[in-house]
């Protein structure tokens, strides 16, 4: 899945355990582990807001998008057309 969850990074920065975070957010440690390990299919905004409040961070500190097969992806600005022009087609 291209959405990566970095809760463990914030836990380490805040020197907080999963159990303590779960207690302060109001979710079970098992549900937090599902989210933390990237197995969750969804997250409620209220849960995300509570995580951000407890960890004093922004949603972008906890979630980030990573292209699948990122090493194969070429930035549109770096792409070269067959005629040697650079940029997205139609420009």
The DSSP string of the chain is --EEE-HHHHHHHHT--HHHHHHHHTS-HHHHHHHHTT--S---HHHHHHHHHHHT--HHHHEEE--TTGGG---TTT-B-TTS-BSSTT-
57 vs 1, more confident:
57
Provide the pLDDT for residue 1.
65
Provide the pLDDT for residue 43.
95
Please compute the mean of the pLDDT values over residues 1-19 and round it to a whole number: 94
Cβ atoms within 10 Å, residue 33:
14
Rounded mean pLDDT of the chain?
84
- The predicted-structure confidence for 55-85, as pLDDT tens digits, reads as follows 999 999 999 999 987 655 445 545 545 555 4
Please compute the mean of the pLDDT values over residues 30-37 and round it to a whole number: 95
């Amino acid at each position: 899945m291209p959405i990566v969850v970095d809760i463990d990074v914030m836990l380490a920065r805040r020197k907080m355990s999963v159990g303590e975070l779960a207690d302060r957010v109001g979710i079970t440690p098992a549900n937090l582990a599902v989210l933390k390990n990237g197995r969750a299919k969804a997250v409620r905004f209220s849960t995300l807001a509570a995580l951000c409040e407890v960890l004093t961070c922004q949603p972008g500190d906890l979630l980030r998008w990573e292209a699948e097969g990122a090493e194969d992806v070429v930035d549109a600005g770096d792409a070269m057309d067959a005629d040697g022009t650079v940029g997205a087609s139609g420009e």
